[in-house]
Amino acid sequence: MEYVAPLQLGLKVDVDTLSGLTEGVVALANIFGARDIRASFYVALGPDNSGRAIFRVFRQQGFLEKMLRTRAPSVYGFPTMLYGTVFKAPEIGAAAPQVLPDLRVAGHEVGIHGYDHAGWHDRLHTMTRDEVAHEIRQAQAVFLKVFGEPATSFAAPGWQASRVSRTVLAEAGMLYASDTRGTQPFSPRFGAWVSPLLEIPTTLPTLDELLGFNNCSVEDFYTLILSRLEQGKPQVLTLHAELEGGPFREAFARFLDLCLERGVTFFRLVDYAQEILERPQDIPSAPVYQGRLPGRAGTVSRQGTLEDRS
Ligand SMILES: [Zn+2]
């Protein structure tokens, strides 16, 4: 019988807010557990400043439209919308001490999605090396308290990466990072400098980007994702605990069942990284640039054209 390469999908779950951790993550862990699926979770461990997102409305073109399209007020809940503005921002990592260890016991990967999510998202490119290092140190301190050891994986808030952030992450002992949008794992180049830290980009669009775009329904979105899976070419899908673990959890669970019916296998990004790092000579490099994506406000860090490593 002819060997058919499996369809492979890495599930990367970003956790931005306190309710994402206490409600969304728990719901996703149940959905994955019922299907024997392992995923990678990245948690913003500092203050829940999601309320500051309100101010992006005035600065970033397309944000208001997106908030309305994704029904953000009902998705995130009214108090979350005000965190960091009227109410004092609660600490995300410290607030649910049992959720994160339980994830790891269930076989999932847990990494860091920044400390102050809104701060990184809005200001990374003007932050000094000391400021970026301070963010990572604070996140690692919370992680260390929860797990007794530092994190070895990182996913940048809002897909914002810079030469400075990659330098700090490599020094912090990360095995890999997932900071960009692209097509396949690579060594990111910023100007003449190539980051020594493996990058595993998100390769597929996200639900919040496409929902409502040209009347795209949640079912349409997952049909599109299924059609984008390719034999022998692993893909990475970013989920948000607040969305796929919130109001869209049933549609997401149906998508997973469809995937399983079609023989899709799921991987954790750490396992993918370890496999790639066994053959470092095969990792291509590519420049990283700030570019726009359909349905997303502002710019994100994107993988440019692949270059052979010489
Ligand atoms: Zn995020």
Res 67 pLDDT > 90? no
pLDDT exceeds 90 at position 76: no
Q: Is the pTM of this model over 0.75?
A: yes
Q: Which residue has the higher pLDDT, 75 or 257?
A: 257
Q: What is the model's pLDDT at position 54?
A: 44
How much distance in Å is there from the Cα of 15 to the middle of ligand 1? 6
Rounded average pLDDT over 240-254: 94
The CA-atom distances, in angstroms, between 156 and each of 115, 230, 238, 263, 276 are 10, 26, 12, 30, 20
What pLDDT shows up at residue 57?
41
d(CA 308, ligand 1 centre) in Å: 31
The alpha carbon of 201 and the centre of ligand 1 are apart by a number of angstroms equal to: 14
Buried b / exposed e over 206-215, threshold 16 CB at 10 Å, is: bbbbbbbeee
- How many whole angstroms from 113 Cα to the centroid of ligand 1? 7
CA of 310 to the centre of ligand 1 (A): 34
Contact criterion met (CB below 8 Å) for 84 and 52: yes
d(CA 264, ligand 1 centre) in Å: 26
CA distance 187 to 55: 34
How many C-beta atoms lie closer than 10 Å to residue 265's C-beta? Answer: 12
Q: What pLDDT is attached to residue 48?
A: 78
Q: Ligand 1 centre and the CA of 2: distance in Å?
A: 41
pLDDT, position 19? 86
Q: Greater confidence, 18 or 152?
A: 152
Calculate ∠ Cα 241-243-249, nearest 5°: 90
Centroid of ligand 1 to alpha carbon of 187 (angstroms): 22
Distance of CA 125 from the midpoint of ligand 1 (Å): 16
pLDDT for 58 equals 41
pLDDT band at 124; cut points 50, 70, 90: very high
Question: 3-class DSSP state for residue 193?
Answer: strand
Token digits for 51?
């309320």
Residue 83 has pLDDT above 80, yes or no: no
pLDDT at 219: 94
- Which tens digits make up the pLDDT trace of 204-214? 999 989 988 88
More confident residue, 139 or 309: 139
**For residue 103, how far is its CA from the centre of ligand 1 (angstroms)?**
18
The whole-number pLDDT of residue 97 equals 76
* Lowest pLDDT segment from 1-5, 214-218, 258-262: 1-5
Task: State in Å: Cα 175 to ligand 1 middle.
Answer: 20
**What is the mean pLDDT of the segment spanning 240-258?**
95
CA–centroid distance, residue 89 to ligand 1 (Å): 16
CA of 157 to the centre of ligand 1 (A): 4
Report the alpha-carbon distance of residue 141 to residue 40 in Å, rounded: 20
Least confident range from 16-25, 188-197, 208-217, 292-301: namely 208-217
Q: Give tens-digit pLDDT for 51-66.
A: 554 444 444 445 556 6
The per-residue pLDDT of the chain, averaged, comes to 88
Measured in Å, residue 261 CA sits from the centre of ligand 1 at 30
Ligand 1 center to residue 44 CA distance, Å?
Answer: 7
Q: How far apart are CA 121 and CA 142, in angstroms?
A: 20
pLDDT at res. 297:
85
What distance in angstroms lies between residue 284's CA and the mean position of ligand 1's atoms?
27
50 Cα: distance to centroid of ligand 1 (angstroms) = 10
Quote the pLDDT of residue 101: 94
Q: For the segment 141-174, what is each residue's pLDDT rounded down to a tens digit? A: 999 999 999 999 999 999 999 999 999 999 999 9
